[in-house]
A = this chain, B = another copy of it.
Amino acid sequence: MDLAQVTQRMQIDALYADYAHCLDNDELEAWPEFFTEDCHYRITSAENYEAGMPIGIVYATSKAMLVDRVMALRKANIYEPQRYRHMVGAIQIGAAEQGVVPVVANLLVVRTMQDGAMMLFAAGRYVDRLVRQGEAWRFARKDVVLDSRQIDTLLAIPL
């Protein structure tokens, strides 16, 4: 492993840290910036993912759609009393192919309600494809593959 490879791993680790804090800090307007212009973003269940079903609960095929989604969320949620905490781990970085780096990572989201009650909100994995654009790594594709099929309540927020 040379310094370039080491640097790449650290940059990708840092990307996932930044991504988690962006969402947990409710900085949703910055969230689309993690993606390429023609990105694919999807939230789906493991069951549907493994069955090869293309459409997820959330499905976007461009960064512009993510921007729209954030605006819709801001309009819909007058007041958001919950807090979310993303734990991301087991970041597995594959070999680049034509500049695209495949990454899989485990995800656990804990929700804290206004009264202080905490609950497991989502568990699953990110199945991502990253590209380098200038100084930044961005998601060309992000599949959020949730272990649970019960993901109706997840509709509201990006993961």
Contact = CB atoms under 8 A, between A and B. Distances in A.
Interface of A: 1-3, 6-7, 9-11, 14, 16-18, 20-21, 24, 46, 83, 85-93, 104-108, 110, 112, 114-120, 123-125, 147-151
Nearest to A148: B116
Contacts of A17: 89-92, 105
A90 B86 contact: yes
Given A6-B3, A6-B7, A118-B147, A88 B85 contact: no
A92 to B, nearest CB: 5
A89 B92 contact: no
A87 B89 CA distance: 6
A21 to B, nearest CB: 6
